[in-house]
Amino acid sequence: MSANEERTFIAIKPDGVQRGFVGEIITRFEQKGFKLVALKLIQASDDLLREHYSDLKDRLFFPGLVSYMSSGPVVAMVWEGFNVIKTGRVMLGETNPIDSKPGTIRGDFCVQVSRNIIHGSDSVESANAEINLWFKPEELCDYSKCQHNWLYG
């Protein structure tokens, strides 16, 4: 990874998997020029989800969130590229789909906040923590893409 690149954690939630948006979401990140460095389909355990969402554990909706996230498979991914965290969050749209603009993932595919199909890291610190929680170091691929120079010069 070069000095001007970073990694982010993106997860397609059970409703996104069930509704068949995995390919569309991957395509959007690839078309933007980001590099996929890890991907797996996982039935997340309650323990993993409680740790992932530990900052929300005191919220009333926390038990329902864990139940929803464990209700089906999740596609966990790591993407790499220049400003991928901030750009990825813009691509996702607002947490509440009502506030999301058309052209964003949530703006195009979601109706309500409790079924917003996708998660993305919101900072370098959270990205690193989430990547380390969901992936072992040996599951991250280090490779060069031929399009790199066409994107970054």
Which residues are marked as active site? Answer: 119
145 is in an annotated binding site: no
Closest CA to 70 of 126, 17, 112: 17
Beta bridge pairs of residue 120: 10
4 is in an annotated binding site: no
28 is in an annotated binding site: no
Q: CA 42, CA 75: separation in Å to the nearest integer?
A: 6
**Are the C-beta atoms of residues 119 and 126 closer than 8 Å to each other?**
no
27 is in an annotated binding site: no
95 is in an annotated binding site: yes
116 is in an annotated binding site: yes
Question: Rg for the chain (alpha carbons), in Å?
Answer: 15
